[in-house]
Amino acid sequence: MEISALQKFRYAYKPKLPVGLSRGITEIALESGAPTESVSDQGELRELFKYTYGKPLVTFVPGKNDQIQKKLTVGVILSGGQAPGGHNVIAGLFDGLKKGNADSKLYGFLGGPSGLTDNKAREITADFLDQYRNTGGFDMIGSGRTKIERPEQFAAALETAKKLNLDAVVIIGGDDSNTNAALLAEYFLSRGSAVQVIGCPKTIDGDLKNRYVEASFGFDTAVKTYSELIGNIERDAASAKKYWHFVRLMGRSASHIALECALQTQPNICLISEEVEANRFSLGRIVDQICDSVVKRAENKENFGVVLIPEGVVEFIPEMKQLIAELNEVIAVNAETFGRLEGFEAQSAWFAGILSPGSRALFQSLPGEIAKQLLMDRDPHGNVQVSRIETEKLLISMVEKKLSELKAAGTYPGSFSALGHFFGYEGRCAFPSNFDANYCYALGFSAFVLIASGLTGYLASVRNLTAPAEQWIAGGVPLSMMMNLERRKGSQKPVIKKALVDLEGSPFKALAAARETWAVKTSFVFPGAIQYFGPPEVCDEPTKTLRLEHRG
């Protein structure tokens, strides 16, 4: 297989390990803290996780570890959407296993969690792994979104573990995937099985984090990739001086990506879904905010600009949230009738007689293409797939209409031409930044140490991430500690709580302090491409979000 020059050099990159993991393999011991509690619903979760609830936080410290050299057989799963660095988690896990005992084995389950339930696996060897070190993507073993939730799936997972003589399973995924890891760990113990389960925090959305999980892997690379593209667009806008660019970015439930990209590139407008919901900003209020910037910049003869939009913001706008909830409910209850309707016109007419007056009026006022997107196929939970809703086009259409009214009234002196963009898949499989390459490798190595030390129901944790990699602090966090109960499919389910943008946090406050200036004055910053070679302050720099959070 032909490879690029960069790929060749990335294969050879040696990730940096925290000092707690780089000492002699038998000198990595565990220090345990006090018992932990879940973030909420402690009584109910204590009952649900009888075997794994309340375990202590652990940190790796100097000391003797007699268990770490035992022969182990471990399976690893990539779960959910791709995120840069997944291959390095597997590399760190593999290298840890082999340093502990050269006879240890690592199996990769193919296609995600279904590989575990269906016993589809391949052994990961050194030659095979070396083709994927420090590269993006999940193509080494593939991924999938299967949830292990039915009794027969749990039983099949245990049967596969027995057939392969597994000592442990490592699940690399986001909040839902690691909720699965917690349930699987509990199930194995409840059936008298010694098979351990360890999770690793992955999601480019950045919403799997807390005090002990400072960042989910892939976020650093993704936001740097998107910020390069946004910076390129900003430079083009400042050069052509005739377009407003509306850029929709990944992030359904949380706006961490949009916030970080705004801090890196300083656009004219950046919407934050959590702020929209907290202040109950209407669609009209958002359009007015954008138009105000357009008008003021036109007065300065700058008929160009950049607007950043989280893909999930449409679900946080009160009247849109109500409309989407009604559409989801109506389609779920009347699935057969809806399925028989042919064409958008028939569907629209049918909804007109069912929706509440306010939702009906809003639905009928939407541009046709947007209204159609709201009726597209639902996700497995029966919800609208917001990634398919072209919110940037909705806002462009509404801004154009408002500016036409202002032009007619003589209060808008400029011209408005807009272009829409969606940056999503462009960031999911990029070559991981040095930060993510190091972080993921440390997470994988940490997962090995947790397994070798006999722990289960833990998430690998690496902290102090604004320091050089050698000064990072590695350990493990009990998965039950991050749990709460949420209503899913009509009943209360244990899930890892998503971390949303904190409106009282330093990163959002930094945006809020600057955005009035950015809205009017061209303040663009051009981050450029991710750098892999050069001084650490260029190549190993963490995100602005992390640095601001550490400053407090």
Q: What is the CATH number of the domain that holds 357?
A: 3.40.50.460
In angstroms, the CA 468 to CA 191 distance is 43
Alpha carbons within 13 A on the beta-carbon side of 70: 15
Greatest Cα pair distance, the chain, in angstroms, is 80
Please indicate whether residue 205 is annotated as part of the active site: yes
Other CB atoms within 10 A of residue 282 CB: 14
* Residue 318 belongs to a domain: yes
Same domain? For 246 and 360 the reply is yes
Which residues constitute the domain of residue 123?
A: 28-218+432-488
CATH number at residue 74: 3.40.50.450
Residue 332 and residue 263 share a domain = yes
Residues 255 and 126 in one domain: no
Last residue of a domain, one of 440, 459, 488: 488
Sign of torsion over alpha carbons 60, 61, 62, 65: negative
In a domain, 74, yes or no: yes
Residue from 184, 180, 128 nearest 161 by CA: 184
Please check whether residue 247 is in contact with residue 306, taking contact to mean a CB–CB distance below 8 angstroms. Answer: yes
5 within domain boundaries: no
- Do 296 and 245 have their domain in common? yes
Q: Which two tokens mark 30? A: 């565990």
The pLDDT of residue 382: 64
Record the pTM. 0.95
Structure token digits, residue 19: 């000092």
- Residue from 167, 175, 176, 205 carrying the catalytic annotation: 205
The SS3 of residue 532 is coil
Check whether residue 349 and residue 390 sit in a common domain: yes
Question: What pLDDT score does 328 carry?
Answer: 85
| Partners of residue 29 on adjacent β-strands | 61
Residue 358 tokens, joined: 């306010």
For the sheet with 73-78, list strands across it.
Answer: 28-35, 56-62, 473-478, 458-463, 196-201, 168-173, 73-78, 105-109, 121-123
**Are both 478 and 520 inside the same structural domain?**
no
Enter the DSSP assignment of 101.
-
> According to DSSP H, which parts of 317-390 are helical?
318-333, 335-340, 344-352, 357-365, 368-374
300 and 329 in a single domain? The answer is: yes
In a domain? residue 494: no
The answer to whether residues 412 and 263 belong to one domain is yes
What is the pLDDT tens value at each position of the chain, 552 positions in all? 688 999 999 999 999 999 999 989 999 999 999 999 999 999 999 999 999 999 999 999 999 988 899 999 999 999 999 999 999 999 999 999 999 999 999 999 999 999 999 999 999 999 999 999 999 999 999 999 999 999 999 999 999 999 999 999 999 999 999 999 999 999 999 999 999 999 999 999 999 999 899 999 999 999 999 999 999 999 999 999 999 999 999 998 899 999 999 999 999 999 999 999 999 999 999 999 999 999 999 999 999 999 999 999 999 999 999 998 898 888 888 888 988 988 889 998 998 888 999 999 999 999 888 989 888 877 665 677 777 889 999 999 999 999 999 999 999 999 999 999 999 999 999 999 999 999 999 999 999 999 999 999 999 999 999 999 999 999 999 999 999 999 876 678 999 999 999 999 999 999 999 999 999 999 999 999 999 999 999 999 999 999 999 986
Q: Which two tokens stand for residue 271?
A: 């919407």
pLDDT at 198: 98
